[in-house]
Amino acid sequence: MKAIVLTKRGADGVACLDMPAPDCPPGWARVRMRTASVNRVDLYMRDNGAGITHDLPLIMGVDGAGEVIEAPEESGLHPGDPVVLYPYEFCGHCRACLAGDQPLCRQARILGEHRHGTFAEEVVIPAPSLVRLPKNADLRQAGVLGVAYLTAWRMVFGKAAAGPGQTVLVQGAGGGVACAAVQLARMAGARVLVTTSGAEKLAHFRGLGVETIDHRSEDVVRAVLDMTAGDGADLVIDNVGEKTWGVSLRSLARGGHLVTCGATTGAHPSAEIQRLFVRQISVHGSTMGSMEEFRRLIRAWQSGAFTPVIDSAFPLPEVPAAFARLDHPARLGKILIQIP
């Protein structure tokens, strides 16, 4: 089968190769992949991978959707069923799994990080990690939900839930998680402010009824305080990291919540401990979401509550070009991989 394989670190270690189809152990399912999406963590795996137990060569890709080829009878899945993949394998019987928080399972293995991923014609995975979709489901949209939208779901609802009457600030809106967070916070009825740049992205967000701050030309903290009559935002969603951390803290209302899921621009900003305790600010780390959060996300999508934003689509062999698109300044939303 064709797959995008990381053979060694660096951009020239990514190759489209013929790989043997994987074995499907008892209790697992085999999926014919149709779509996947590019995530920032793919670049981390390509260029570094430190702290993530894995071996090379590794098939890349963390999320995606496809059709069941084979599945255990007890799973209720049948050949041809459209499915979306939860990005984790999990044990199902540890404390975390029994509490319904699969990302905290110590045996959890993430596709494309700890084990082979989704940039392949076929994937095998324990059947409990598959969610069945209706026969007419749009697998292009389904293929981008697994990482960015699930991560955004937990950031918007899982820590200090956003809702009507609250103000949510989303930093660096343009990336997959940030775009998703804007949509989900709007869906929840919150007032949403975004920092972004570029005429097209500013216009896109204004069209969604979102208030925009151009971080290239405006003082973000001043703008947020002006827009909120001096209060600041109740919830700040930040996956930019060191570059925006201080601005995020200073844009928060007293008693507000900062949720972080990424450190693209660096991992060691000043903690500003005095600001944290004097203003009673909470900082939450967040990554992906539970199986139940994934199911709720999928139900919300199927009910039409939001439509995933897809920036562009690339065929499987062109994953390296899709990676390059991640850092394009005009990029808005998810980058889809189509697997013919």
> Whole-number minimum distance, CB 164 to Zn ion, in Å?
35
Interaction residues for Zn ion, span 31-90 (CB under 5 A):
90
| Strand 130-132 versus strand 167-170 pairing type | unpaired
Closest to Zn ion by CB, 89 vs 311, is 89
Indicate the DSSP class of residue 159: S
Closest to Zn ion by CB, 97 vs 133, is 97
> Whole-number minimum distance, CB 147 to Zn ion, in Å?
20
Closest to Zn ion by CB, 90 vs 314, is 90
Closest to Zn ion by CB, 98 vs 161, is 98
- Type of residue numbered 238: D
> Whole-number minimum distance, CB 315 to Zn ion, in Å?
36
In terms of DSSP H, where are the helices of the chain? 40-47, 95-98, 139-142, 150-153, 176-187, 199-207, 220-227, 242-250, 273-278, 291-302, 319-326
Cβ atoms 247, 219 nearer than 8 A: no
Cβ atoms 105, 74 nearer than 8 A: no
Closest to Zn ion by CB, 90 vs 301, is 90
Residue 14: how many CA atoms within 13 Å on its side-chain side?
Answer: 22
In terms of DSSP H, where are the helices of 58-170? 95-98, 139-142, 150-153
Site string for Zn ion, 149-188 (x = CB under 5 A): ----------------------------------------
Grouping H, G, I as helix, E, B as strand and the rest as coil, residue 240 is coil
Interaction residues for Zn ion, span 269-328 (CB under 5 A):
none
Closest to Zn ion by CB, 90 vs 245, is 90
Q: How many residues bind Zn ion (CB under 5 A)?
A: 5
Q: How many CB atoms lie within 10 A of CB 160?
A: 19
Cβ atoms 215, 194 nearer than 8 A: no
> Whole-number minimum distance, CB 221 to Zn ion, in Å?
41
Closest-approach residue to Zn ion (CB): 105
The token pair at 133 is 């979709």
What is d(CA 256, CA 275) in angstroms, rounded to the nearest whole number? 11
Closest to Zn ion by CB, 37 vs 290, is 290
Phi, psi of 245 (to 5 degrees): -55, -50
Phi, psi of 84 (to 5 degrees): -115, 145
> Whole-number minimum distance, CB 159 to Zn ion, in Å?
21
> Whole-number minimum distance, CB 303 to Zn ion, in Å?
30
Interaction residues for Zn ion, span 82-121 (CB under 5 A):
90-91, 94, 97, 105
> Whole-number minimum distance, CB 60 to Zn ion, in Å?
24
**Sites of contact with Zn ion (CB under 5 A):** 90-91, 94, 97, 105
